[in-house]
Amino acid sequence: MIGHRARLAGLSVALGAVPLLVAPSARADLFDADWFSELVAPVVAPVDPGVAVAGVDLAGWFDPGPAAGGVVDPAALLEQYLYLPLHGLISDWIHSDFGSQVNEAINAPFVLLTGRGLIGDGADGTETTPSGGAGGWLFGDGGAGWDSAYPGLAGGNGGDAGLFGNGGAGGDGGASGVGTVGGHGGAGGWLMGIGGAGGSGGAGSAGGAGGSGDGWLFGIGGHGGVGGSGGNGGDGGDALGLFGRGGDGGNAGDGDTAWGLPALGGAGGVGGPMGIHGAAGHFGTLDSGPPTSGAGLTTSGSWLTDSDGKVVILHGVNQMYKIAPYEPGAGGFNDEDAAFLAANGFNAVRVGVIWAGVEPQPGVINYAYLDSVNATVQTLARHGIVSIIDMHQDDYSSVFRGEGAPEWATQTGGLPNPDIAFGINYALNPAMNRAWDAFWWNEKAPDGIGLQNHYALMYQHVANYFKGDPNVAGYEIINEPWQGSTWLSTVLGNPHFDQQMMTPFYNQIASAIRSVDPTAPIYFEPNVLFNEGIPTHLGAIDDSHAVFAFHDYCIFGVACDQYLNMIVDNAKNYAGAHGIPMFMSEMGGADNIGYTSLTQQAADKGMVGWTYWAYTGQADITGNPEHEGIVVDPGRPPVGDNVDYAKLETLTQPYPELVAGTPTSWSYDAATGTFQFSYLIDRADGSGAFAAGSHTTIAVPGIQYPNGYQVSVNGGHVVSSPGAGQLVIASDTGASTVSVVIRPAAAG
């Protein structure tokens, strides 16, 4: 059956975000002399956020101004001007002496017939009845769950509200012991309401999930509970209603975990079609302390940099194996291939990793598979080539004749699964769109844990495996993410998916990676329609070393020069607005070398590195295997008819590999063999300038200059040997800018 969130898929029209609002506290007696001014005044008068209204301190949580994406959250306005006053008025009636007497008479027949009153709050849970009672059918809050007082016992669940009211808070789990999880918060009212917060977990146990905000007009999911020592945070509650906001995930507890890695924060709850996604909770810290800084590449402002602060430009290829066993070396990729890439000036490989290979069963991490990936990483490292770990998918999973998610994480809802074609499947395959919907809405895997929570834990293990390896240039979160059933909404310009589904997911996975590796670059992509020319509406990714990764293919095959440059410009607009690096993680993929050359020119103009798709077409079940590879069969030596030399010659252009300063421009004219490059000696992080004599390295592949090359330099001088494959320039004393021109040597 399709879950309640899935039924709202086609309605998404996001309006932004503000901090999650809190449920109101109990009010004074209804006949208190100040009741009217406290309860009604907020409806008819503007609110000063610094003033407490009706016992609720508004400072810090009411902000109707611009939020994420520069838009306004209508849930904040509805809660402040409609729900809080009404809830306060009803609550005061329920708790007044006169109201309780009237309610008792009104409720009597409903209790007799249904066991539940029409008006009133549910009873709090007790040791003998741990779960809180439900609120009245029409009005009333659910009762709070029981706080467990015993090791090994979970907290009670909060009670649900009826038509209008707040869910009860979940009870805290016992102090320690297996199973001392926090209770789940109760659901908010069907019309309007706020889900209860999840209870805190006991030592080693997770916090409870926040209650859902089920109000069809207005609802806010409850916060997830805080994990106990070494326990994961609870997930925030989802919001079903039109203007609903998901609850924030609970923070993880500090302390050692059973799996030896820091506990993770809970996922944020999904917001309504015009609402806001909750934020993921923060990860915990092991008893041994926070993770230490890794080695190798990181970021400085808009650039990738090495440990010395030099700017690093990557040119490379993609290498992956899309069928079982999913190992990047399964097709024979080996030391000969790595040596071939290095000899032709490539310094990076985007190494494909498949979720189904890492986590074949829920919660089971296949370290033998990670060993096989590492074997390729180390093979490349022996030849000076770094690896970008790419969690790859196409067509979501093998259930749709693609690759990516394991079958246990593929929920089709029993919908038709026609095998159409890669690319077209995204738009027209109902089962695949349902699987994507289930993933974005974090629906439960067979073990009761959310799909995105599984993905986060899986990636935490991957990052922990590779952390500190200077040969790993970072982690790409997911390849070419698809919107699921909301794709048409995105095509028509709706920013909801980018802002309220994908951005929170990226923040959750980035947090999981940061729990074990604090500095390696994290690459994240726009939705796949970005390559169709639709600009991204992603929000800011909450990470200090994030990199915007994108693909640049001339999809429609016409006006490719303008089209390819447009994609780069769209990427620059996003990356520039957020002050982060960008990287073209896929390009090419065809025999048309003119098209590939145009893509390289667009990349050079945008001063962006790239990895060509692909080193080989072998096992590319969703690509263009007969036409995309440089090498036909990596199981044979990369020589002779096993190499597409026309493609290789196009790709092996000069480029700045390592810059003691900040690049200002570079370009290559294939017709004349002329490469031009200039850079400032200023450090990319703005901390000053490199000292005179600092070295900059330019890759000069021999295939471009069979008779050698000549160099002219202003502001520096050559210190490498004549004709070297890596040209090294040292800056001169007093120079602020260095410019380099490389031309073919005159025929002898």
CATH, residue 728: 2.60.40.1180
Query: 675 and 648 share a domain?
Result: no
Query: 667 and 624 share a domain?
Result: no
CA 636 to CA 639: how far, in whole Å? 8
Greater pLDDT, 54 or 682: 682
pLDDT of 7 > 60? The answer is: no
Query: 393 and 451 share a domain?
Result: yes
Residue 57 is assigned to a structural domain of this protein: no
pLDDT of 37 > 50? The answer is: no
Query: 490 and 570 share a domain?
Result: yes
What's the sign of the alpha-carbon dihedral 597, 603, 609, 610? negative
- Amino acid 323 reads I
Q: How many CB atoms within 10 Å of residue 323?
A: 14
Of 424, 379, 418, the C-alpha closest to 399 is 418
Query: 554 and 666 share a domain?
Result: no
Greater pLDDT, 22 or 539: 539
* DSSP state string for 656-671: EEEESSEEEEEEEETT
Number of domains within the chain: 2
Residue 28 is assigned to a structural domain of this protein: no
Q: What integer pLDDT is reported at residue 77 of this predicted model?
A: 83
Q: What integer pLDDT is reported at residue 35 of this predicted model?
A: 30
Residue 310 is assigned to a structural domain of this protein: yes
Greater pLDDT, 524 or 258: 524
Query: 584 and 671 share a domain?
Result: no
pLDDT of 2 > 50? The answer is: no
How far does Cα 438 stand from its chain's mean position? 16
Query: 412 and 501 share a domain?
Result: yes
Counting residues of the chain whose pLDDT is more than 90, the rounded percentage is 82
Pair 730, 659: CB distance under 8 Å: no
66 confidence band (pLDDT: 50, 70, 90) = very low
Return the ∠ at Cα 492 (arms to 487 and 497), rounded to 5°: 45
Find residue 552's DSSP bridge partners: 587
pTM: 0.90
Query: 612 and 709 share a domain?
Result: no
Query: 648 and 666 share a domain?
Result: no
Query: 410 and 533 share a domain?
Result: yes
Q: What share of the chain is helix, strand, coil (3-state, %, to 5)?
A: 25, 20, 55
Question: What tens digit of pLDDT does each residue of 311-351 get?
Answer: 999 999 999 999 999 999 999 999 999 999 999 999 999 99
Cis previous bond, 14, omega within 30:
no
Residue 285 is assigned to a structural domain of this protein: no
58 confidence band (pLDDT: 50, 70, 90) = very low
Query: 670 and 552 share a domain?
Result: no
> How far are the Cα atoms of 249, 487, 676 from residue 393, in angstroms, in the given order?
26, 17, 37
Question: What tens digit of pLDDT does each residue of 477-486 get?
Answer: 999 999 999 9
Q: What integer pLDDT is reported at residue 747 of this predicted model?
A: 65
Lowest mean pLDDT segment, chosen from 56-60, 280-284, 537-541: 56-60
pLDDT of 179 > 90? The answer is: no
451-466 helix and 503-514 helix, angle to the nearest 10 degrees: 40
Residue 111 is assigned to a structural domain of this protein: no
SS3 of 55-118: CEECCCCCCCCCCHHHCCCHHHHHHHHHHHHHHHHHHHHHHCHHHHHHHHHHHHHHHHHHCCCC
Last residue of a domain, one of 609, 628, 652: 652
> How far are the Cα atoms of 129, 212, 373 from residue 134, in angstroms, in the given order?
13, 14, 52
pLDDT of 294 > 50? The answer is: yes
Average pLDDT over residues 286-301: 89
As separate numbers, helices (DSSP H) first and strands (DSSP E) second, the chain gives 17, 23
Q: Residue 45 corresponds to which tokens in the numbers above?
A: 């008068």
Residue 566 is assigned to a structural domain of this protein: yes
Q: What integer pLDDT is reported at residue 617 of this predicted model?
A: 97
Of 706, 506, 479, the C-alpha closest to 614 is 479
Question: What tens digit of pLDDT does each residue of 452-461 get?
Answer: 999 999 999 9
Segment (H or E) for 453: helix 451-466
CA 296 to CA 307: how far, in whole Å? 6
Residue 123 is assigned to a structural domain of this protein: no
Last residue of a domain, one of 609, 625, 652: 652
Residue 82 is assigned to a structural domain of this protein: no
Query: 699 and 586 share a domain?
Result: no
* DSSP state string for 352-387: EE-HHHH-SBTTB--HHHHHHHHHHHHHHHTTT-EE
What's the CATH code of the domain at 611?
3.20.20.80
Last residue of a domain, one of 652, 681, 701: 652
Domain holding 634, by residue range, is 301-652
Question: What tens digit of pLDDT does each residue of 227-257 get?
Answer: 999 999 999 999 988 889 999 999 999 999 9
Strands 582-587, 546-552: parallel, antiparallel or unpaired by DSSP?
A: parallel
Work out the mean pLDDT of the chain and round it to a whole number: 89
